[in-house]
Structure 1
Amino acid sequence: MTITYEWRGDVDNTALNALHADGFGHPVARTDWRDRLQRHSLGWVCAREDGALIGFVNVAWDGGAHAFLLDTVVARQTRSRGVGAALVAAAAEGARAAKCAWLHVDFEEHLRPFYVDACGFTETRAGLIAL
């Protein structure tokens, strides 16, 4: 089965809400992803296998040089096949094509091997205020 990756691919709210719930382990929400992405994102990448949405990453931005990864998610049954790293690579290419100079990501400690080792991010010092 072939997995395809599409920059700014068509987003079905129902499918993305189900994937998000599966990937992050919460109840299925009713988020209007299409509206959110159109209003706030530089782009996003959808991964599909046999037409089914199996992965997603959102690329928000500041309108200039900085892009930010959000909501990187891969369906549980599809993990450990390189889908997440391929999503991030496609997101980086989309941000690069939009003339962004930096791609940022925040992550919890248990995701360090994925973002640093598998995706090639460099560790930096950053700050955070919980709101």
Structure 2
Amino acid sequence: MTITYEWRGDFANASLNALHAEGFGSPVESTDWRSRVERHSLGWVCAWDDGSLIGFVNVAWDGGDHAFVLDTVVARSHRSHGVGAALVAAAAEGARAAGCEWLHVDFEDHLRRFYVEACGFRPTPAGLIAL
């Protein structure tokens, strides 16, 4: 398994929609991810294995010093091999190269081990309002 990671990689919407459906246990949608990330994101990282999209992370930002990890997803067949941590590391490098000083992530408690231990995030107090 030779996996490559690409900052702002070229992907097909259908491939990312299928990956999201598998990764998040939802029906396959027809979201125009390309337009969404080009309009709102600092960047994104694609993970590829033999030409197939097997991982993705979106990096939103505030236009200044703060970037935000969103939608980290890895195909089931490639989980537990470090792909997710490598995606986040590539996202951090892309944000750093763009001049960001902070990379934030929100996560559910069952993902704490991944984000804190595998990716190196520090837990911090935060707030949330459900809209």
Shorter-chain TM band: over 0.9
Output the aligned Cα RMSD: 0.4
Is the contact between residue 11 and residue 33 of structure 1 (CA under 8 Å) also seen in structure 2? no
Instruction: Give percent identity, aligned residues only.
Output: 79
Look up the SS of the partner of 2:117 in the other structure. Answer: helix
Unpaired segments of 5 or more residues in structure 2? none
1:113 aligns with 113
1:77 deviation in Å?
1.2
The structure 1 segments of at least 4 consecutive aligned residues displaced by more than 2 Å after TM superposition are none
Return the TM-score normalized by structure 1: 0.99
1:11 deviation in Å?
1.8
Look up the SS of the partner of 1:123 in the other structure. Answer: coil
Deviations 1:55-78 (A, max 9, x none): 000000000000000000000111
| Matched AA of 1:128 | L
Look up the SS of the partner of 2:56 in the other structure. Answer: strand
1:88 aligns with 88
How many correspondences in the alignment? 131
Deviations 1:52-106 (A, max 9, x none): 0000000000000000000000001110000000000000000000000000000
2:4 aligns with 4
1:24 deviation in Å?
0.3
Look up the SS of the partner of 1:18 in the other structure. Answer: helix
Output aligned runs, 1:1-80, within 5 Å: 1-80=1-80
